[in-house]
Amino acid sequence: FISEPIESLVEEAKELGDVGELILVAQDTTKYGKDIYGKPSLIRLIQALSKLENISSIRLLYCYPEEIDDELIAAIRDEEKVVSYLDLPIQHASDPILKRMGRRTSNEDLRNIIDKLRTEIPDIALRTSLITGFPGENSNSFIDLIRSLFPEMPISMVDSEGTVYNMNPSEKTTH
């Protein structure tokens, strides 16, 4: 991950003119700043961008669940320019599959994070991406995914088309 300094991003946002909504997106937006400030600094970036008059709203994409903490939830809730929307790529809900994927969350962690988001920000819209057909996934894993997510962890949309994408293994994929 390579972050641009907050000051540079604020200047760039000013130069955009009246943009209305500004979308913050990265491979993992929640890790913003860790490489240059020694700790995640997304909240500082949100606060700095929120002060700009040419931006009416800020939307966050690709915020991995394991990086969402109480401070970030409070920033999403309390910064009036931040849209009550979060792209939360959970990708699966079966513990064995999450482990094989190298994810740092469990089914219980995901439930807790989503419950906390919905409690702290009742009107939040959550978007996610899911992977099915991952090597080692069987029908039980897939059933775990469906039972865990719907309706217990209501997600506002899977994607704009309501699509669940299949995992397409490459030559180097291990089974």
What length is written for the chain? Answer: 175
H/E element, 54: none
Q: How far apart are CA 75 and CA 95, in angstroms?
A: 29
Q: How far apart are CA 53 and CA 76, in angstroms?
A: 18
**Tens digit of each residue's pLDDT (9 = 90 or more) over 96-147:** 889 998 888 998 999 899 999 999 999 999 888 888 888 888 887 877 777 7
Instruction: Specify the pTM.
Output: 0.80
Extended beta strands in the chain, E state: 20-24, 55-60, 82-87, 125-127, 131-132, 165-166
